[in-house]
Structure 1
Amino acid sequence: MKKVGAQSSQTLDVGSGLSLSAWHNDGGYAVYEKASHHTLSYYLQGGKGTRRHNGERSLGKGHPGAVCIMPAGVRSEWSIEAPFKFMHLYFDQAEFDHIALESYGIDPNLVELEDVAFQSDPVIEQLFRQVILPLDWQNPADRMSLSHAGQLLVQHLFRHYSNKNAEPTFVRGGLSPFVIKRVKDYIEEALDQGLVIEDLAAVAELSPFHFTRMFQLTMGVSPHQYVLLRRVERAKDLLGDTHNTLSAIALQCGFSSQSHLTTRFRRATGLTPSKFRQLS
């Protein structure tokens, strides 16, 4: 990919062949030279001065909330006449193939991702604006939520922007007691680290997508919700030691700072860590 005027403010690998990148472009042009990965682009701010071209012919212009999909191997050209901000989700063909085979029972060789420019999609908008954008990409405690959001986006693209209109196969049963114990033990040992769903799926010896569905069926909550719950419960236990500072507790529970611990703890319990300590 060639970009003139475009700069990435942050990039994060969220596992399973998925990565996120936040961009801004003040003008110029961009050429996608048949990338080896698929790209989902979402316009956060501006975009009305952005156009896609096929030679001298314009294929439309952007707008805030616009969705573009650039499949692997497809060349595209873009002109940018005004500043705008956007986010990209990159994902490998292997991840798309896993979803086709394990969730829909479809031969991956029969599935093609659509080439899309400047559409609106409320599901994609909600995941980017309400889940991905507010999270701290540098915070280990938020990595699993970002990983889960990325997987949901890829699943949505498969269902609504491919040549196969299919519903996921029904999951019968969940994880065995032995596997769920092994996953729980792993989580407890790694709460101070930046866990992603790919880590837990490897423990269960399942694909990330299949693991997520089976974990939720077994536990009643998604993996990232469960991990956040365990981080908060660990913090409650550590707050009992008054010699343990809030900043130290935050790091022991996988939060990047005391303020991040306070935000997540209050959201889960209705109390700040300091108030919880006073009342305990």
Structure 2
Amino acid sequence: MRSQFASDQSSSHVTMVSRHVEAGVHRLSRVPHHRIMVHASAATRSYCNEVGRYFVRRAGDIDLVPAGQEGGFEAESPFDTIEIALRPALMERVAAELGGKARASRLDTRHLLRDPRIEHLARALESDLNANAPSGSLFADSVGAALAVRLLGLDDPGIDRTNRLSDTQLKRVLEHIEAALHEPLSIDRLSRVAGASSSHLRTWFKVATGFTLHRYVLRRRVERARVLLQRGDLSTSEVAELTGFAHQSHLAHWMRREIGQTPRDLRRASRPK
């Protein structure tokens, strides 16, 4: 079983590993976190020891294994899977923020679940890992909170209904982001600024702006970097530091993704003819 870990997320409540699983017998040992496994290959047939039956998993099929539960299966052919580890503490925190309506302590085992939202979030984590450009704790924490809300709402579709941010709350968050683009920004920090729970802020912010918190912060950092680079009086490494990017390559990666230009492209375009 070969794995590629999202090592930059090791301190987060959510981590991801991309696994290649060979044909044969495999055992899932007990672990202290919830496991969300998204099938990422063509149709694969396997026998589940826990329920005593065969399953055919197709791309996008999801298996949930609660913390502390073990399992096992026999795969008839190799396959790839995205495995997300979610800490119970995050589930408990999100349940409390949602008013205690969710049963955070109970996550049932599920096989062959189809849920586009969970699959989308898993793919977002996978893309971040494969890009080899860590997005920071704000991204991982936002994805973790979104996953927790979705898992808690599987049996209660109304659980993730929220109200909008007030104009005052939104203004406080936007102003704080602008003033602190050069600093690490976490969902917890911005929640304190807004005076709202992290789960609610994550949803409310998207309703108010059309962007996730992570995407909005990235866009503002890229725009600030663009202005500083065009000014021409700072090195690329200085610009990266002033706009909250880990290093020059991190800055170049996100500039290319957001505006289709690198720092070098911008400097060339700004030179006098």
Q: TM-score range by the shorter chain?
A: 0.7 to 0.9
Paired position in structure 1 for 2:122: 128
* CA gap 1:184/1:126 in 2 versus in 1, 3 angstroms: closer
Count of equivalent residues:
267
Matches within 5 A, 1:11-90: 11-12=6-7, 13=9, 17-46=13-42, 48-54=44-50, 57-90=52-85
Task: Compute the displacement of 1:42 (Å).
Answer: 0.7
Which stretch of structure 1 is more off in the superposition, 177-186 or 92-101?
A: 177-186
State the TM-score, normalizing by the size of structure 2: 0.77
Tell me the secondary structure at the aligned position of residue 85 of structure 1. strand
Are residues 75 and 222 of structure 1, via their aligned partners in 2, closer, same or farther at CA, if it must alter by over 3 Å? same
Secondary structure of 1:42 counterpart: strand
Asked if the contact 2:240–2:246 (Cα under 8 Å) also holds between the matched residues in 1, the reply is: yes
CA distance in 2, matches of 1:258, 1:94: 35
State the distance in 2 between where 1:244 and 1:64 align: 47
Aligned mates of 2:74, 2:241 — CA distance in 1: 44
| DSSP-derived class of the 1:134 partner | helix
1:48 offset after TM fit, Å? 0.9
SS in structure 2 at match of 1:90: strand
Aligned partner of 1:3 in structure 2 is: none
Kindly state the Cα deviation for residue 23 of structure 1 after the two structures are TM-superposed.
1.6
Alpha-carbon distance change, 14 to 171 in structure 1, aligned in 2, over 3 angstroms? farther
Question: In the alignment, what sits opposite 2:162?
Answer: 170
8 Å CA contact retained: 2:102, 2:152 = no
Identity %: 24
Letter in 1 for 2:108: E
Alignment partner, residue 95 of structure 2: 100
Structure 1 residues 239 and 32: alpha-carbon distance in aligned structure 2, compared to 1, 3 A threshold: same
Note the 1:1-280 alignment, pairs <5 A: 6-12=1-7, 13=9, 17-46=13-42, 48-54=44-50, 57-103=52-98, 105-106=100-101, 108=103, 112-129=106-123, 131-136=124-129, 138-141=132-135, 143-160=137-154, 162=155, 164-171=156-163, 173-174=165-166, 176=169, 180=173, 183-184=176-177, 187-190=180-183, 195-201=185-191, 207-216=197-206, 221-242=211-232, 244-246=234-236, 249-250=239-240, 253-255=243-245, 258=248, 260-280=250-270
CA–CA distance in 2 between the matches of 1:186 and 1:79?
54
Residues 16 and 95, structure 1, Cα contact 8 Å, conserved in 2: no
Pair 1:243–1:230, CA change in 2 (3 A) = same
Give CA deviations for 1:27-63 in whole Å, capped at 9, x if unaligned. Answer: 34333344322110011125614332237x2242433
Q: Which runs of 5 or more residues in structure 1 are unaligned? A: 1-5
Quick check: 1:31–1:78 contact (8 Å CA) kept in 2? yes
User: What are the ranges of 5 or more consecutive residues in structure 2 without an aligned counterpart?
Assistant: none
Residue identity in the other structure for 1:122: P
Tell me, in whole angstroms, the C-alpha distance in 1 between the residues paired with 2:164 and 2:245: 35
Alpha-carbon distance in 2 for matches of 1:242, 1:173:
38
User: What is the CA-CA distance between 1:171 and the residue it aligns to?
Assistant: 2.4
Distance across 1 between alignment mates of 2:208 and 2:113: 36
Q: Please give the per-residue CA displacement for 1:65-103, whole angstroms capped at 9, x wherever unaligned.
A: 221000123332122332222111111222222333322
- So what's the TM-score if we normalise by structure 1? 0.75
Alignment check: 8 A CA contact 1:47 1:82 kept: no
